[in-house]
Structure 1
Amino acid sequence: MASMLYRIALFAVLCIILDEVHAARNANQKLKVCCARQKNADKGCKRKFCDFEKFSQDNVLTFLNTCTPKGNTVSDMWACATSNVDHTACCKKNKVIKACMPYCKANDPPPTDYLKHLFCLQAFNPIRNCFREHLEKHPNIFGDN
């Protein structure tokens, strides 16, 4: 009888472990969960841009133009995408030019003088890839894995 209970308990533990492994989210899912938890961010902006494929050099100006007038939406979504972490080492590895490094140092707010950094658009995807790479291995800012 004890042997049978031991087997059942072991099976239950294995099921829990496998469920935890299976339940791990990828970076994009963690980003979306984070954005959903940003209650004051504009719903339309979250729906349209809270996705690493949509948060790209092709759409970043549209994102900024659309979402900047909507309160703290840009800073809230930026925090979700960047995890408020300094990605400078990754950006250097991805050959992001020095002038665009302020976007990599995401533990500070992003630069707001967008026109001055317009040339950084071509470097945005490598920067964004650093954000995604970090979220693949770490929880989002709310601790969601």
Structure 2
Amino acid sequence: MAAIIGNNELISSRVFDFPRERVFETWTNPDQLERWWGPNGFSNTFHEFDLRPGGTWRLTMHGPDGNDYPNHNVFEEIVPLERIVLRHLSGHEFQITATFEELDNRTRVTFRQLFMDPADFEQSKKMCAEANEQNLDRINALLAGSPQ
């Protein structure tokens, strides 16, 4: 389950039974990322994916309720096999930092979501905590070869 830190940050962590290179690829290969990004029932259409510091990632998340959710993100930092930092700029503004720790052919991913506005965090924290855990579940299913 996600930990709530202070008045504006969620942290989720998961150990995957896959090597760090493979887990990191689920975050950096747009074909794979498109398959797991978002909570259960969501699908994605990527419009732009420029994986470099300052690069833009624009996508539309398609909800199970039939609604579309345009998203605009900017990559702030990419450290191969170690860390990805991106800023979510549409709707509630937050920063995501994903770290990848090698553990003897397994990988611990720590997913930190830092909201810029504590009021946005208060409004979103329960939904985001559940959604982040679902994202980690979906990554594991992708790695294990299960249909999404």
Report the TM-score when normalising by structure 2.
0.27
Judging by fraction of residues, say which structure has more strand.
Answer: 2
Structure of higher CA gyration radius: 1
More helix per residue: 1 or 2? Answer: 1
TM-score by length of 1: 0.27
